[in-house]
């Protein structure tokens, strides 16, 4: 391990640290998608309605998003190594319990336990890379982490479908155990035990509670407002708004707030965090709607549709590490702009799809979208961590993950709203597969165009950001003596 920060290449020990963090990102990405395809089998196995089984996914998402900032704060207090490894252990134990759950309610409860571990390993990834590695290789390292995250997202449906069809839905949880054990054992030896960033601070428990209610009611409202319980959805969103206001007031008054609002005065910090949300919102919206386009409009089998969807994460996987490495040399802003421009072009092309479009077209457009997102995402992470005050990097790492996951939830909900608005209320009263492709196609075109418009906003935000020249001076790698 170097100590002078002069090398442009990661040492073996640095690569091992990135590997441990990347395993956590891989598992977090995998568990974000692996459950979806198994929900019908879970519902059938426990003889419960699919709506009840959907809480296996919803409960995980609510706990994960709500605890990200808390997990980052605990990392600052207790030390990143200790908290990260405990989080990975909790995630692994939760996975084991999910795999042997005797009832649907116990499965939901164990998924919440798993989500606590998932929040910890997701929240601390960026700050660990920033703290343990020098700024000159930060982009490369974050690019690798982003690649593993997308690899997990991409392989989730594939692995989930294979394990569920060949063995049982229980194996979608049990598969996490060997990865978790390897990551914890490897982390014990390779992650340096540095001093805690802020060992004397106290947890803002009031802020934690208010943020939990604000996010939980927001996610619940977004997931129900497009269904039959529209009134409950609106009521939940109103509750969320109230608690967001209460949370902001509490952060202003708190001596040691969960979110240091003063950092949001930095335009680069705030706008680039918003760009993380916008970028993920577009990806989530496309990944949610495209299966319906492929199966309803193009009449493709589910397996074929799933294989074609891999074009998007493949594009992301191929570009993220390269973009991260290049950003170490030329800076982040140019790459982020290029990424957003490519994503805008891809989404415009997706909005021009018709009933007669060929598979080569939408596969190419999905690949381009994934590539654009990959070019922008790792430099965005690097840029945000670069402008973050050193003592707030733990919070910043958690905030990045919160914006990413919140973007996924908003992406699904908003594209459904646009889709439904364009097609009108009558469409909701009939089975989707009974609708003529020509009737339903305008909904897809409008939703993809909406996602494109959001990326234009993201492009404008990054254009007005002034790239910091101090980023390269802020982060120095830890010394050999840290081991």
| pTM score | 0.76
In order, the DSSP letters of 13-29 are HHHHHHHHHHHHHHHHH
Show the CA angle centred on residue 344, arms to residues 342 and 350, nearest 5°: 105
Q: What are phi and psi of 4, to 5 degrees?
A: -100, -5
Q: What is the pLDDT of residue 403?
A: 86
Q: What is the pLDDT of residue 116?
A: 92
For the chain, give the mean pLDDT.
Answer: 81
What's the pLDDT at 255?
80
The pLDDT confidence band at residue 196, using thresholds 50, 70 and 90, is low
Q: How many helices (H) and strands (E) does the chain have?
A: 19, 0
Contact 60, 112 (CB under 8 A): yes
Segments forming the whole domain that contains residue 87: 12-203+258-482
Do residues 317 and 226 share a domain?
no
Dist CA 230 CA 440 (whole Å):
22
Please calculate the CA angle 70-71-74 and round it to the nearest 5 degrees.
85
Given 257, 289, 323, the domain boundary residue is: 257
The total number of structural domains that make up the chain: 2
Q: What pLDDT score was predicted for residue 435? A: 67
Indicate whether 193 and 210 sit together in one domain. no
**Domain final residue pick, 241, 257, 273:** 257
- Tell which of 257, 274, 298 closes a domain: 257
What are phi and psi for residue 8, nearest 5 degrees? -95, 5
Integer Cα distance of 113 and 157 in angstroms: 22
Same-domain status, 419 and 391: yes
Rounded CA separation 179/152 (Å):
12
Residue 39 has pLDDT above 80, yes or no: no
Q: Is residue 466 part of a domain?
A: yes
Average pLDDT over residues 203-214: 85
Q: Is residue 17 part of a domain?
A: yes
220-240 tens-digit pLDDT: 887 777 666 778 888 989 999
Same domain, residue pair 148 and 87: yes
428: in domain: yes
Q: What is the mean pLDDT of residues 291-302?
A: 78
Is the pLDDT score of 256 beyond 90? no
5 within a domain of the structure (yes/no): no
The CA distance from 417 to 227, in Å, is: 10
Q: Are residues 30 and 118 in the same domain?
A: yes
Return the pLDDT at 476.
41
Neighbours of 260 (CB within 10 A): 16
Determine the average pLDDT of the residues in 422-446. 69
Give the model confidence (pLDDT) of 75-129 as tens digits.
878 888 888 899 999 999 999 999 999 999 999 999 999 999 988 888 887 778 7
- CA distances 416 to 91, 361, 423, Å, are 31, 23, 11
Whether residues 288 and 341 share a domain: the answer is yes
Task: Please tell me whether residues 117 and 228 are part of one structural domain.
Answer: no
Of the pLDDT bands very low, low, confident and very high (cuts 50, 70, 90), residue 468 is low
- Report the b/e string of 326-336 with b at 16+ CB within 10 A: bbbeebbbebb
Both tokens of 450, joined, read: 């909406």
- Nearest one of 276, 2, 15 to 144, comparing CA atoms: 15
Same domain for 148 and 253, yes or no, is no
Dist CA 327 CA 321 (whole Å):
10
- In the structure encoding, which two tokens stand for residue 411, read together? 């992406």
């Amino acid at each position: 391990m170097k100590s002078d920060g002069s090398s442009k290449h990661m040492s073996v020990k640095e690569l091992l640290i990135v590997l441990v963090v990347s395993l956590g990102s891989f598992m977090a990405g995998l568990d974000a998608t692996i459950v979806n395809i198994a929900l019908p089998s879970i519902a059938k196995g426990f003889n419960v309605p699919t709506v009840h089984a959907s809480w296996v996914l919803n409960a995980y998402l609510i706990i994960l998003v709500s605890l990200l900032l808390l997990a980052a704060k605990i990392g600052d207090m207790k030390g990143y190594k200790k908290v990260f490894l405990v989080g990975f252990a909790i995630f692994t134990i939760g996975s084991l319990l999910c795999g042997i759950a005797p009832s649907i309610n116990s499965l939901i409860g164990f998924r919440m336990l798993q989500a606590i571990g998932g929040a910890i390993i997701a929240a601390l990834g960026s700050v660990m890379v920033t703290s343990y590695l020098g700024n000159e290789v930060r982009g490369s390292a974050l690019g690798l982490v982003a690649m593993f995250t997308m690899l997990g997202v991409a392989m989730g449906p594939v692995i989930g479908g294979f394990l569920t069809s060949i063995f049982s839905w229980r194996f979608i949880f049990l598969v996490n155990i060997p990865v978790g054990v390897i990551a914890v054992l490897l982390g014990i030896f390779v992650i340096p035990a540095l001093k805690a960033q802020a060992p004397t601070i106290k947890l803002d428990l009031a802020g934690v509670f208010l943020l939990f209610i604000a996010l939980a009611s927001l996610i619940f409202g977004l997931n129900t407002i497009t269904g039959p319980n529209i009134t409950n959805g609106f009521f939940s969103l109103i509750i969320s708004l109230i608690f967001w206001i209460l949370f902001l007031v509490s952060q202003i008054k708190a001596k040691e707030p969960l979110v240091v609002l003063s950092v949001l005065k930095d335009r680069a910090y705030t706008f680039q965090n918003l760009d993380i949300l916008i970028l993920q919102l577009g990806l989530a919206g496309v990944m949610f709607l495209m299966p319906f386009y492929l199966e309803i409009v193009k009449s493709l089998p589910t397996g074929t549709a799933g294989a074609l969807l891999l074009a998007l994460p493949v594009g992301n996987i191929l570009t993220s590490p390269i973009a991260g490495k290049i950003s170490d040399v030329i800076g982040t802003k140019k790459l982020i702009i290029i990424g957003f421009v490519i994503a805008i072009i891809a989404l415009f092309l997706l909005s021009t799809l018709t009933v007669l479009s060929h598979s080569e077209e939408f596969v190419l457009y999905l690949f381009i979208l994934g590539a654009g997102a990959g070019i922008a995402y790792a430099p965005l992470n690097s840029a945000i961590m670069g402008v973050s005050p050193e003592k707030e990097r733990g919070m910043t790492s958690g905030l990045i993950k919160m914006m990413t996951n919140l973007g996924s939830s908003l992406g699904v909900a908003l594209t459904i709203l646009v889709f439904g608005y364009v097609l009108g209320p009558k469409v909701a009263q009939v089975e989707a597969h009974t609708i003529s492709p020509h009737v339903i196609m305008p909904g897809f075109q409008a939703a993809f165009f909406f996602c494109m418009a959001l990326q234009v906003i993201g492009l404008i935000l990054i254009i007005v950001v002034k790239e910091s020249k101090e980023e390269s001076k802020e982060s120095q790698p830890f010394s050999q003596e840290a081991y």
